[in-house]
Every structure is written in C-alpha cells, then in structure tokens.
Amino acid sequence: MNEGRWDERGWQEYEVVSFAQFHKVLEDVQRQLPVQWLYGQVVYRGQEKAEWDLKPGIGRHLQTYKDSGRDKNHLLADEWRMVQDFRRQAGAYLGRMPEEGWEAWVLAQHHGIPTRLLDWTHSPLAALYFAVERPSKDDDSAVWLLYLPTQFIPPPDVHVPKDSNIDPSDAERPHPMEVEEVRGYMPGHEVPRVRAQLGVFTVHPCPTEPLQGANLPDRAQLYKVVVKNCARDQIKFTLANYGIFKQTLFPDLAGLAESIRWTKIGALENPPREPPTEGFVSPPP
C-alpha cells in the first residue's frame, strides 16, 4: 500500500475515493505512530474544501483588517473584546455569566465568535461526516489528523498530590490568550453538542498562521486525507449506516428534523454515485 506523499508544508497527504480506503488510511497512520490505538491520541477535523488551511476563525479575518488599515494587533485585541462582550451578554440567556477563560472562550467559539480555538473531534467518523456533509459540484473535501502527544490543558481545579510522581506543570491552566504553543483542550459541560461530537479544541498562540509542520509542537504529527468529490455522497450514506448523521451529532430538535428530511428528500436530491473502484489511492511522490 502506498504510504501517501509528503507535503513540503509539513504533513503526509493521502487521497481516498471510498469509506473503505479512509479506514485503510487510519490503519496506516496507526502503524506509523508510537501508540496502541488512535482514540484519545489523535484528533480529527473535517473540512468541506480540501484547499482550506487549518487556521482558527479569528485568523481568517486578518486580510479584512489590513484592507481597512488595521493590523494584526487590532485583530487580536478585538478577539478579546468580542469574547468579553459575549460573556457579559450571555448571562441573560444562561442565567449566569460564563467564567472568564476557557468556559467563555469555548461558548463564544461554539456560538460563532471567531477566536483562536479550532474545532476537532476524537471521532474520525464525525470528522468524515463534516467533510462530506454538504453536496458539491467540484470541490474535494478533507479530513485532517493531528497526533498531539503533549499534555492537554487540564480542567479547572485540578489538584496534584504532593507525594505523587505527577509533574505539577501538568495541572497548569494558562488563559487561552497566554498559551505559548499549540495545545489541546477538552471541554467539559459547556456545550452539549460538543460532547455528542466528542469535540476537542486546539488553541493557537499565533492564530493568523495556519497549522503546519513549522509550528507543530514537539513530536506532533499532521496528516491530511483528501476525500475526492466523486465519493462524497456514497460516504455519507455509509456513515448513516453506521449511525453517523445529523441527529446523532446534533442531539436536538433541529438535528432530528434535518435527519428526517434527509432520509426522505435529501437522499433523493443527492443519491450515491456508482461506487469507485476499490484500491488505495494516493498521488505519487
């Protein structure tokens, strides 16, 4: 099996045209990493266009600021201001003001405020769903895999026993704007949808720069799986057979309604194409 090609920007890249090939990629990645299993060791992100960078939401607005005569410092200052405005006004909807720091940033990110957080999931199937969810005439999609061996930022109020062999630094919890390298954060109770999607975040100290080999933490590895457009609808049907669809990923009435609509109408609007020829596909080096 071809091991994929190395991209000079710092990741290994594959191409797949079926669900089965996607599974083979996961097996290949597992063989390369010093882990017994991928769950909890690797996080995944699905993007509907393969050409998109891994750049946090706030960083995608830098050009808008430059066009208006403002610089990166203005952009990052406005990130803080937007989260604080959200935090202050969200209390009217939540019955309390979100705690400053991770709770405020996670809630703001989830509800559409652009921040330095980037959404990932522990589930490769959820990421694959988000990659192929929307129909497209021409665009390939992509699933990114990030092996992040560094310690995730801990939950609040972690206590390290004095006589343990645990490094006290493992309990350090920097503010989202004070993180010094790309790190992972696993949310708690903040957003039910995030829990249903096995959601996790990376936080980026330089959110205007895309994540690639040059700014990966020590020993981290990045992989990109390009899902060819011809396989988009077939993979979505296969995922539904595995119980991965809107209702399970968005456990609310909106997710329920969208799932019901898709089973009756959406499946007819975008039927699966003829399954491509099996066989692992990866572009030559």
E strands present in 62-185:
117-121, 141-147, 183-185
pLDDT tens readout for residues 198-207:
889 999 999 9
Count helices and strands in the chain by DSSP H and E runs: 10, 8
3-state secondary structure of 10: coil
Give the orientation angle of helix 102-110 with respect to helix 72-94, to 10 degrees.
90
User: What pLDDT does 285 receive?
Assistant: 36
Work out the pLDDT band at 230, boundaries 50, 70, 90: very high
221/275: higher pLDDT: 221
CB 114 within 8 A of CB 58: yes
User: What pLDDT does 187 receive?
Assistant: 82
Q: Where are the domains of the chain?
A: 5-52+116-158+188-201+218-269
Residue burial 242-271, b: 16+ Cβ < 10 Å; e: rest: eebbbbbbbeeeebeeebeebeeebeeebe
164/63: higher pLDDT: 63
Rounded to whole angstroms, the Cα distance separating 246 from 220 reads: 31
Residue 281: CB atoms within 10 Å: 18
pLDDT tens readout for residues 43-76:
999 999 999 999 999 999 999 999 999 999 999 9
pLDDT tens readout for residues 5-34:
999 999 999 999 999 999 999 999 999 999
H/E element, 225: strand 221-227
User: What pLDDT does 159 receive?
Assistant: 62
For the ranges 8-22, 32-46, 103-117, 249-263, the lowest mean pLDDT is seen at: 249-263
pLDDT tens readout for residues 79-105:
999 999 999 999 898 889 998 999 999
